Amino acid sequence: MVYQYKAGLGNVGSYQVAGKPFVSGGINCAHAGGGAQKVEFPSVTSWVAVANPGYDEDNAATTTLKVGFSKNGVDGTNYFSVKDIPATFDVKVTEVWVSGSTDSAVMAGLTSISKERINNPSISTSSPYINWSGSSGV
């Protein structure tokens, strides 16, 4: 039997090196434009930044961007809001959900950890590639 080592969520080295860049911009996630949008990453992230470049404090028509780790979180109360200042946070996730803005952007640093390594039944009951469920404050 041959043991093949694969980096997992607890592999410190995967988070110490610079992440492979991921950028997605011009995301229309306003309710009239289709509602909450999932931004799925090709591998587990080390950090994520979310921006709302379309936000204009003087224009009542622009909206605050809601960001969560599941559709359940964004549609419920487990999200945070981004106006005009980008938010950056260190998290290991396979997706984020955004809602409310006609122009949002997501950037992330990707690790070499495959999405299958976050597949954990204690996080959620859906599969494959389980992300955080959006319940219990997530």
CATH number at residue 71: 2.60.120
Classify residue 134: in a domain, yes or no: no
**pLDDT class for 53, splitting at 50, 70, 90?**
confident
Classify residue 51: in a domain, yes or no: yes
Classify residue 9: in a domain, yes or no: no
> For residue range 59-77, what is the model confidence (pLDDT) as tens digits?
655 678 899 988 888 888 8
**What are the beta bridge partners of residue 87?**
50
> For residue range 6-23, what is the model confidence (pLDDT) as tens digits?
777 777 778 788 889 999
% of the chain exceeding 90 in pLDDT: 25
Domain count, the chain: 1
Contacts for 17-21 with beta carbons within 8 Å, 24 or more apart?
18/109, 19/45, 19/46, 19/47, 19/108, 19/109, 19/110, 19/111, 20/109, 20/110, 20/111, 20/112, 21/107, 21/108, 21/109, 21/110
pLDDT value for 9: 72
Q: For 33, phi and psi rounded to 5 degrees? A: -95, 15
Classify residue 54: in a domain, yes or no: yes
Classify residue 108: in a domain, yes or no: yes
Task: Tell me which residue range forms the domain holding 66.
Answer: 23-118
pLDDT value for 1: 72
Classify residue 123: in a domain, yes or no: no
Asked whether residue 124 carries a pLDDT value surpassing 60, the answer given is: no
Classify residue 58: in a domain, yes or no: yes
Classify residue 88: in a domain, yes or no: yes
Q: Average per-residue pLDDT in the chain?
A: 80
> For residue range 101-119, what is the model confidence (pLDDT) as tens digits?
888 899 999 998 888 777 6
